[in-house]
Amino acid sequence: MGPHRMQYFLIFFITILSSLIISACCTSCSLHEEHDDLNGYFDDDHEGMITGYNDSAGVYPTFLDSLYASAVDHHQVCYEKDPSYEFRNFIDEDDHEGYEDHDDDDDDDDDDDDFEKIVRFGDSTQVFNVDDFGAKGDDQNDDSEAFKKAWDKACSSRKGATAIVVPKNKKYLLKPLKFSGPCKSIISLRVYGTIEASTQISDYSKDTSHWLVFQDLNNFTVTGGGTINGNGEIWWKNSCKIDKSRPCTHAPTAMTFYQCNSLKVRNIHVKNAQQMHVSFQKCINVQARNIVVTAPGKSPNTDGIHVTATQDIRIRNTVIGTGDDCISIVSGSKKVRAWNITCGPGHGISIGSLGAGKSEAHVSDVVVDGASLWRTTNGLRVKTYQGGYGSASNIIFRNVGMKNVENPIIVDQNYCDQAKPCKKEDAAVQVSDVLYNNIRGTSESDVAVKFDCSESHPCRNMQLQNVYLVKQTGAAAKAFCKNVKFIKIGNVSPLCPSN
């Protein structure tokens, strides 16, 4: 797509979104009861067509912030008129009607129908406003205790459905908190305003790895259109990647979901995490959609969405621009689906790293279908350490567009993240059965396709179809292929020298 066509596309895209926002604000509260805050603002029918986030121009954070503000403003007015509003039939019907898994071998409709029956709330939903528990929301006072009291009250309720409300136009300052289950009710956290992380590093003395943790929960939902702000600047400047004189230490993940089942995270903006933004650990049946994740391109280790030991997770209609992987998928994860992903700045969409410290690692059944990557340091990456063992298999990347991406396609079985060269090892995580289909765009580097595979465990059963990558200037790009076995290659440029 040329620059003029892209410009026209952006104007058209923003015009459509603006009309949707105006329409949403003019519609009665009753009509909005059946839709979540950002529904309809992203188009599910055009995989891979979400426009990228441009870090240098700074366009999308401002635009998306205004989009959120318009949606949340309308819903907050309705809530103030009727506190039970938004909790009557708030289920997002688009999650179930016409749902498409993008995998012909799987059929999740039954699971979605069951989930809908569970979370469709009635008028009996209890609403717990954090202000009623003493929260100030002035960005000065510590509101941690008020949030904990609201959680304990909602979680212990036997009313069937409870909702914790974080009001709009306020900033709630929180120290590290753990919101634990199992709860006696079906619970949701509705963030309309902003939750801000404490910037006092001493507040994290008991646990420097986590800020907000949601643990052991079933049928839990986080939504509302508000913002989760990790205030990570103080942590970034103390990172060993920024200040080489400092030791490398952990920094908190902004939002961690641990051992949660039938989880929904949607319509939320997570920004400036201390380290990772959103992490799903040992979760089953996760829907993550309409999420915006933003941090400066040079912020260290600020992965957007991190998936570890999680099964059956669907990530869709999500915009991520950070200083590390937009999406990282690591050991123990399987049946991962991601589509309509916008990525950039950042390190691309990564499987791994796997096998660190000679460990065993397994990732399988991953589909990335429909993504736009802009000015990322990697595009579609599989990375494994030497010396590890296990497998990364049955992986599909398709319908992906890239602009000025370094390393658009890369498999690196010799990944090394230290200054001095890593020791050569014979053991390796086996990479096999990977398909790249309909991958197009421009490469910032000379080598657009790179398979740096293990001599002892070559990459096996790799497929390339309809791949067309050129340099940013339009000149031909190169391919580097070592220890890789292809089973099918069709309509590919650049080609490996031996093919």
pLDDT in tens, 443-456: 999 999 999 999 99
Q: Is 347 designated active site? A: yes
Q: Beta strand pairing status for 177-180 and 210-215?
A: parallel
Count of all residues that appear for the chain in the document: 499
Give per-residue pLDDT as tens, 306-324: 999 999 999 999 999 999 9
Taking all residues of the chain, what is their mean pLDDT, rounded to a whole number? 82
Q: Which of 28-32, 141-145, 298-302 is the least confident region?
A: 28-32
Prior bond of 247 cis (ω within 30°): no
Give per-residue pLDDT as tens, 228-254: 999 999 999 989 888 888 888 889 999
Per-residue tokens: 454: 């293990």
Give per-residue pLDDT as tens, 104-139: 344 444 433 333 333 344 457 899 999 999 999 999
Under the banding of pLDDT at 50, 70 and 90, the label for residue 2 is low
Q: Is the pLDDT of residue 410 over 90?
A: yes
Q: Is the pLDDT of residue 6 over 80?
A: no
* 168-194 average pLDDT score: 98
Place of tokens 């939504």: 223
Output the pLDDT for position 92.
35
Q: Model pTM? A: 0.79
Under the banding of pLDDT at 50, 70 and 90, the label for residue 55 is very low
Output the pLDDT for position 174.
99
* 186-200 average pLDDT score: 98
Give per-residue pLDDT as tens, 430-444: 999 999 999 999 999
Q: What share of the chain is helix, strand, coil (3-state, %, to 5)?
A: 20, 40, 40
Output the pLDDT for position 24.
41
* 383-395 average pLDDT score: 96
End-to-end CA distance of the chain: 28
Q: Are 267 and 36 in contact (CB under 8 A)?
A: yes
Output the pLDDT for position 344.
97
Most confident of 28-32, 333-337, 355-359: 333-337
Q: Which residues contact 16 (CB under 8 A, 6 or more apart)?
A: none
Under the banding of pLDDT at 50, 70 and 90, the label for residue 421 is confident
* Catalytic pick among 210, 269, 347, 457: 347
